[in-house]
Amino acid sequence: MTDQTQQFASDNYSGICPEAWAAMAEANQGHQRAYGDDQWTARASDHFRQLFETDCEVFFAFNGTAANSLALASLCQSYHSVICSETAHVETDECGAPEFFSNGSKLLTARTESGKLTPDSIREIALKRQDIHYPKPRVVTLTQASEVGTVYSPEEVRAISQTCKELNLNLHMDGARFSNACASLGCSPAELTWKAGVDVLCFGGTKNGMAVGEAILFFNKALAEDFDYRCKQAGQLASKMRYLSAPWVGLLQDDAWLRYAGHANQCARLLAELVADVPGVSLMFPVQANGVFLQLSEPALERLRDWGWRFYTFIGAGGARFMCSWDTEEARVRELAADIRRAMA
């Protein structure tokens, strides 16, 4: 049935974690009011406010495509533009969703260092054009952890938000793997977001052990005006909302979210360590979250595939991405590492 070699293809190949499942099972009792007017949704929202130590506005969407696109659309108009990194998921893997939800906002890609935007790269794009014939930059979106498995420190986020303020840009954080960044940095969610100047965070649940569902947190509450209507109109208001919110209760209470993220990160570091001395293997990016990007020879990649391993190779010549998830088994990591060594031999 399930092919265990698939474990490193993507963190969204994983299933629902026990805590989320148990909460769903508990929520699956009798009738509940629809559209978020239920106790589970209230509880999940409260959990978020406690976790982030602030009275933020909390919304739930079905997936990351929608969560990020809706959030970006709420931060700008169609004739504005969004600055993102060249590798940003919103640019490379959302089939034009941000442009669709915003009715045309253009994404402007900026240079990155280790997959991360910098104040300089943002400034460069923001100031390149200031005439009416080009969409006016209004938003910066950064991905935490980044698409190449690196993380922004609170200081880096703060420096970026400072630049945003100077340039009149709103700051959005795509947190599909926000939990991995928190676990990696040992920072509080608050330190990594609103305390560092983030206006809106999309906190990913799917890759963290849920079936569906992302949370959208507005720290800048003025920007959340009528956001509930926006979600509804865009097909992102669940009628049986409890099934999106209850899993969050399961994940957030007792810190399962953080433990699982820490586990995934640890597996990634383990993999990197185990292959560090393999001749011909080189690490493409520092391993700061749950992804490991390795430069391998083409024949080695071929052999690994033949042996059944699944991974992505969209990063460039010879680059392979191995993602660890909440349920990655250490034994598999060791097997994979051994096979990489064998494949490169």
Segment 6-45, which members bind a second copy (CB under 8 A)? 6-7, 9-10, 12-16, 21, 24, 27-35, 39
Give the count of beta carbons closer than 10 Å to the beta carbon of residue 77.
13
**Rule CB under 8 A: is residue 130 a binding residue for a second copy?**
no
User: Token digits for 106?
Assistant: 């253009």
CA distance 105 to 26: 42
**Shortest Å distance, C-beta 204 to a second copy:** 10
Nearer to a second copy, 168 or 282 (CB): 168
Applying CB under 8 A, among 243, 257, 260, 293 the residue interacting with a second copy is 243
- Type and span of the H or E element at 241: none
DSSP labels, 286-321: ---SSEEEEE--HHHHHHHHHTT---B-TTSTTEEE
Q: Which residue type, as a one-letter code, is found at position 120?
A: D
Applying CB under 8 A, among 45, 65, 143, 146 the residue interacting with a second copy is 65
Applying CB under 8 A, among 167, 190, 211, 315 the residue interacting with a second copy is 211
**Rule CB under 8 A: is residue 62 a binding residue for a second copy?**
yes
Nearer to a second copy, 55 or 133 (CB): 133
**Shortest Å distance, C-beta 66 to a second copy:** 3
**Rule CB under 8 A: is residue 168 a binding residue for a second copy?**
no
Give the count of beta carbons closer than 10 Å to the beta carbon of residue 155.
9
Ranges within 269-308 binding a second copy (CB under 8 A): none
Contact 209, 256 (CB under 8 A): yes
DSSP state for residue 74 in the 8-state scheme:
H
Binding window for a second copy (CB under 8 A); candidates: 49-57, 204-212, 254-262, 280-288:
204-212
**Rule CB under 8 A: is residue 64 a binding residue for a second copy?**
yes
Q: Of the candidates 170, 152, 35, which has an alpha carbon nearest to the alpha carbon of residue 102?
A: 170
**Shortest Å distance, C-beta 242 to a second copy:** 8
Ranges within 68-87 binding a second copy (CB under 8 A): 69-70, 77-81
Nearer to a second copy, 4 or 50 (CB): 4
Applying CB under 8 A, among 54, 92, 220, 253 the residue interacting with a second copy is 92
- Three-state secondary structure of 3-70: CHHHHHCCHHHCCCCHHHHHHHHHHCCCCCCCCCCCHHHHHHHHHHHHHCCCCCEEEEECCHHHHHHH
